Structure 1
Amino acid sequence: MELRDIEIFLTLADELHFGRTAERLHVTQARVSQAIKSQERRIGGALFERTSRAVTLTPLGEQLRDDLGTAYHAIHRGVAKATESARGMTGTVRLGVMGAVGNELREVFDAYRARHPGCDVAVREIHFSEPFAGVRTGDLDLAVLWRPVREADLTEGPVLLTEGRLLAVGTGHELAGRTAVTLEDFGGQTCVGVPPGVPGYWMESMVPARTPGGRPVGRGPVVTTFHEVLHAVSSGLAVSALNEHVVQYYSHPGIVLLPVVDAPPTEWALVWRTDDLHPRARALVDLAAALGPRAYTAPDVAP
């Protein structure tokens, strides 16, 4: 089947109208009809049901549309990427970040723009309740997410930033007078819960179900935004593990931030959809790998 015939079939499957299909593809209606009849003869079955009032896909046509659509769009993406690479990279990398993390990556962005003058980086905020959505839908080229990312359709790339961890407690909490805590201090506490969109392995990496000594760590109210986290903590409903940059970029009355001295660092890495990485996004990935991770240094967080 010729590529043009595939395009005609997919367009008709979308429009379900011979006249609109011909107009959209700048061909005659007879050319559309000829292409479809030829495909049906080659396949040995009807792809469309045609009446005087409507055109609809047959089950065989629906199957062919689904099978060909993915491959057809992949071909066009590949040609577009190759064309752009041949002409020299231009355009914008759409990068998803959580909260203020993007501000800590300005040196990387500046180095990228200097190396590729025709390119830019547009930072867009993503929420921890739906961390992978933008990358999966194609709205984002890359996302900066904390490791690990164990998703079959996503690739975890180089680490950009590392930072320590904190325990956020209300000012009336029993630990509020401390200058620091350990992972063992999480035992017997009630930590904020997370919505279904957050993978369980993320929760376990930040706040394991048990302390190193085996004490259980409770799960409390489910939160979907960072402000809900702050409200739950300041209201005394729960405590929360947070990342160290919070102390510099956010403050909230009624909350004390305590360093967790024995917690492993949080590593923020670039993540992308495995089957779709544009050359200009690849260039940012390669630059990040060459620069290596930056270690975040927070101000004094002692209460």
Structure 2
Amino acid sequence: MDEKGVCRLSGLEIRELECFMALADELHFGRAGERLYVSQSRVSQLLRNLERRIGTQLVERSSRRVRLTPAGERFLAELRPAYEVLSATVDAARESARGVTGRLRIGFQGTADARLMGAITGFQERHPGCVTEIVEVPFADPFGAVRHGDVDTAIVLLPVEEPDLVLGPLFSRQQQTVAVSVRHPFAGRASLRADELTGTPLISATAPAPAYWRAAQAPSPAPAPQVRTLQEGLTLVAAGRGAMLLCRPTAEYHGRSDVTFVPVEGVPDSVLGMVWRRDGETERVREFARAVGAVV
């Protein structure tokens, strides 16, 4: 900041850069001014100052249209991501300085078990100024709510191989059980081996859940129905249309009289992980990740 409180980078004023980006979006001096709450003449002045500092024309304008010059297009392509990084850095510093406040929307898949609730409680005790909201994530769309901005972070079943998402702390490693109808031959068993499931139709999720994620939840080649929700899956299990792999806490939470749950030996444990958008990391998300890590 200079003595007038104006942020400068190598002689450039941030306001000049913001003006140029607004003009590049609007291609109209009046609309750019309205967007920045300044006059049209002020937009022209800021643009002239920027072009003088850089040493080239960035915008062509005539009585009929406004457009970027080739130099302006190159400058915009390099400026915008750098500006977004700078803005995010300033926002993070401001948020850190005033403490974690606002609202944190947390998605969960399956069951909000004791460990997740413990993490939420710990987070709220440490940051009483931040309100938490808990939202169930659809079984067949583990990553959609995070991607669409419906939640800030989500606790989902592994695996996670999404390049646009960050996988944070892992927790709640649990033995798998297989849900079967009370009339199924497995219903009276104390436990099963993984190889005994080879010919058993395992109900899986529909798209948009990625194929690799669906295969991990139903590792059986036998044809089986696909469902959108856990309740749909358990209803088909009760009807004898297939079986379904679930971790023990989810099995206990969704218990019903016409379905029984049998532990399975030799299959990978069910593991939950915290995910968030790579471009959506905030101090609230980082602090909640620490709270999750504390309960692991």
Normalising by the smaller structure, the TM-score range is: 0.7 to 0.9
* TM-superposition CA deviations, 1:189-215 (whole Å, max 9, x none): 112243333233333433334xxxxxx
The Cα shift of 1:51 comes to 5.2
3-state SS of paired residue (2:192) = coil
1:129 paired residue among 126, 135, 140? 140
Q: Which runs of 5+ in 1 are unaligned?
A: 210-216, 293-303
Q: How does 1:46-125 map to 2 (within 5 A)?
A: 47=59, 52=64, 67-101=78-112, 104-125=115-136
C-alpha distance after superposition, 1:79-98 (max 9, x if no partner): 11101211222223221111
Report what 2:246 is aligned to.
242
Asked whether 1:255 is paired with 2:266, we answer no
Question: What is the CA RMSD across the aligned residues, in angstroms?
Answer: 3.0
Residue 289 of structure 1, CA deviation: 2.1
Q: Distance in 2 between matches of 1:160 and 1:81?
A: 27
2:185 aligned with 1:181: no
1:142 aligns with 2:146: no
1:168–1:61 Cα change, 3 Å: farther
Kindly indicate whether residue 166 of structure 2 is the aligned counterpart of residue 162 of structure 1.
Answer: no
Structure 1 distance, partners of 2:21, 2:113, is 40
Q: 1:251 to 1:67 in 2, by over 3 A?
A: farther
8 Å CA contact 1:159–1:267 kept in 2: the answer is yes
Match of 1:224 in 2: 228
Provide the residue aligned with 1:12 in structure 2.
23
Change (3 A) 1:94 1:21: same
1:209-249 deviations in whole A, cap 9, x for unaligned? 4xxxxxxx313222222222123322322221112123332
CA distance in structure 2 between the aligned counterparts of 1:170 and 1:58, rounded to whole angstroms: 69
Aligned in 2, Cα 1:174/1:291: closer, same or farther, shift over 3 Å? closer
Structure 2: distance between partners of 1:102 and 1:261? 22
Q: Deviations over 1:255-292 (max 9, x none)?
A: 22222133332121222233442123212222322332
Contact 1:97 1:126 in 2 (8 A): yes
Query: How many positions carry a matched residue from both structures?
Result: 284
Q: CA deviation at 1:55?
A: 5.3
Asked if structure 2 preserves the Cα contact closer than 8 Å seen for 1:180 and 1:261, the reply is yes
Shift of 1:106: 1.8
In structure 2, relative to structure 1, the CA distance for the partners of 1:188 and 1:99 (3 Å cut) is closer
Gaps of 5+ in 2: 1-11
Give the Cα separation in 1 of the matches to 2:241 and 2:73.
52
Q: TM-score, normalised by structure 1?
A: 0.79
Residues 196-215 of structure 1: pairs in structure 2 closer than 5 A: 196-209=207-220
SS in 2 for 1:220: coil
Which residue in the other structure is 1:213 paired with? none
Matched, 1:279 2:290: no
The CA deviation string for residues 107-140 of structure 1, in whole angstroms up to 9 with x for no partner, is 2222222222323322122123222233334443
Change (3 A) 1:61 1:170: farther
Distance (Å, rounded) in 2 between the aligned partners of 1:244 and 1:237: 21
Q: 1:147-203: CA deviations, max 9, x gaps?
A: 332222322222232222111123333323333322112111112243333233333
Kindly, what percent of the aligned residue pairs are identical? 35
Q: What letter is aligned with 1:271?
A: V
Structure-2 residue corresponding to 1:214: none
Which AA in structure 2 matches 1:269?
A: G
